A and B are shown apart, each in its own frame.
Chain A
Amino acid sequence: MAMAINLGYFIKESAVNFRRNWVMSLGAVITIYLSLLLVGVSMATGFIVSDVVQSVEDKVSIQIFLKDGAATEDVEALQAWLLGDGMVDTVNYVSKEEALERFKEEYAASPEMIENIRENPLPASLDVTLKDPREVQAMVDKIIVNDLFLKVCDRPDDPEQSLKYGQEIVERLFAFTRIIRYIGVVFVAMLAVVSLIFINNTIRLAIYSRRKEIGIMRLVGASNWFIRAPFLLEGVMQSLIGAALAIITVMGIQAALLPWLRDTLPFLPVDLTGSAMLQMSLVLVVAGIIIGLIGSGLALRRYLKV
């Protein structure tokens, strides 16, 4: 009962403070909003990019091109050797005909390329997928010195040319996401500091404008936390409003941008799952509460004597 009265009282007090210093409060809300928005956007981007990286990784395989007329038993021996390796997941033999079929499918949109093909110029190949795509380079290094490989590959003079793999794409994506993440962290940290300063200031003004009430509360024996609670709540409320706005904005951006991204990059699985959004929202709310508590807590320590 007493708690219920208190909660109503605290919320009322915080709301009154908010109205009194609405310019400052608005400043605090906006800075928190911006910093949390940045956190939200970089998290959402992170989710999308890591999905993309994952899918690219899944596609990363090593193609070993075989020379025409390579002895079947040699190819089979190489296949067996590959399968015997711990890093290898699957090995798939693609014949010349199959390779041509694939080629035709891929370039169905430009028939002139297919028309010009007289005899099948494509080599047969072994498609090797790995258990961990990050080990591509290590596996390639192993294959390239293998005698069987050198015997059946289509360019024994330059073995490197007989292999195709997507190591570079993966590395670039990783580097890209790493840079994005660092920039994001720096910006978020700076904005978080600005938010703290703003909250600190609004709470300081709130304390100042209520110094008479606070004096009387102290006088008649209001407990320390009773005096502090409305100010803490005010800081948290400001941050929560900022967090809510940030979440709404991220959702808006997602709704507007994802369909467009999907159209422009049809070959990438650009998507943001509901659980990813939920995770991001939770992070923003918790971060907001923490910023609010620290900001108003600092102001209370400096400006409110109880």
Chain B
Amino acid sequence: MISMRGVEKYYAPDAPALAEVNVEIEAGEFVFLVGHSGSGKSTFIRLLQRELLPTKGQIIVAGQDVVRLKNWKVPYLRRNIGCVFQDFKLLPNKTAYENVAFALEVIGRSKHVIRTQVPEVLRLVGLEDKTESYPDELSGGEQQRVSIARAFVNRPPILLADEPTGNLDPATSLGIMSLFNRINKTGTTVLVATHDREMVDSMRKRVIALESGHIIRDQHRGVYGYGD
């Protein structure tokens, strides 16, 4: 589902943000991407979304050669990738329902599709009672659920999350993680970048560890890492 071969990314000529990255992620996998701030996690995610192009190497996402992809086709690649962020990125003047519906509206889905899929995905994330609430009326955890609902409403084969629990307390984070787990169970490939040690250790999923742009560990049923 995701394949990176010999990927390098330089922002400045002497310091690689990513170097010698070789990763294969199969369909339906749940993968944690761990590392300190500045280790290259965000660059990794943004390369998959084609927000960035690599300096070198090949990236295949959902069967598409990301590097060679024509500009006008990028939106269609992104329809295959749901994205969740630390700051939720919700529109403050839209309700939970409207925020999720917006994602379908702007890719031209019909009103009928919107009316059936949005309530369904809001039920999946456990917000069926809050559909008419605005983001500032929701807790951090609820806001993140809205943003996950938005990322998943189009049923993309891949879900990327960049520090999804960075702004949330441990209990709420646990709820979010189990939601990712549930989404993963539907067959969706899930990649979560995080430095939430407890979370990673408790979930026992595949862990890819980055340090200074290099993959230092790629372990199935892994943990966050040894003391640092």
Bound together, the chains give a CA A222 to CA B150 distance in angstroms of 13
Bound together, the chains give a CA A15 to CA B106 distance in angstroms of 17
* Shortest distance between the CB of B213 and any CB in chain A (Å): 25
Bound together, the chains give a CA A52 to CA B78 distance in angstroms of 64
- Among B12-20, B69-77, B118-126, B184-192, the stretch that binds chain A is B69-77
Asked whether any CB of chain A lies closer than 8 Å to the CB of B83, the reply is: yes
Contact of A6 with B78 at beta-carbon distance under 8 Å, contacts A216-B103, A224-B71 already known: no
Interface residues on A, range: 10 to 19
Chain A interface, DSSP helix/strand/loop, else mixed: helix
Bound together, the chains give a CA A230 to CA B181 distance in angstroms of 38
Contact B106 A220 (CB under 8 A): yes
Asked whether any CB of chain B lies closer than 8 Å to the CB of A176, the reply is: no
Chain B: which residue is nearest A2 at the CB level? B108
* Those of A196-245 within 8 Å (CB) of chain B: 212-213, 215-224, 226-227
Asked whether any CB of chain A lies closer than 8 Å to the CB of B116, the reply is: no
Contact B77 A220 (CB under 8 A): no
Interface residues on B, range: 20 to 34
Contact B91 A213 (CB under 8 A): yes
Contact A216 B102 (CB under 8 A): yes
Cross-interface CB contact of B89 among A216, A223, A226, A227, cutoff 8 Å: A216
Asked whether any CB of chain A lies closer than 8 Å to the CB of B216, the reply is: no
Asked whether any CB of chain B lies closer than 8 Å to the CB of A22, the reply is: no
Which residues of A lie under 8 Å from residue B71 when comparing CB positions?
Answer: 224
Contact A220 B91 (CB under 8 A): no
Bound together, the chains give a CA A213 to CA B106 distance in angstroms of 10
Contact of A5 with B107 at beta-carbon distance under 8 Å, contacts A216-B89, A221-B78 already known: no
What 8 pairs between A and B have smallest CB-CB spacing?
A221-B79, A221-B78, A222-B106, A220-B103, A221-B75, A223-B75, A217-B106, A2-B108
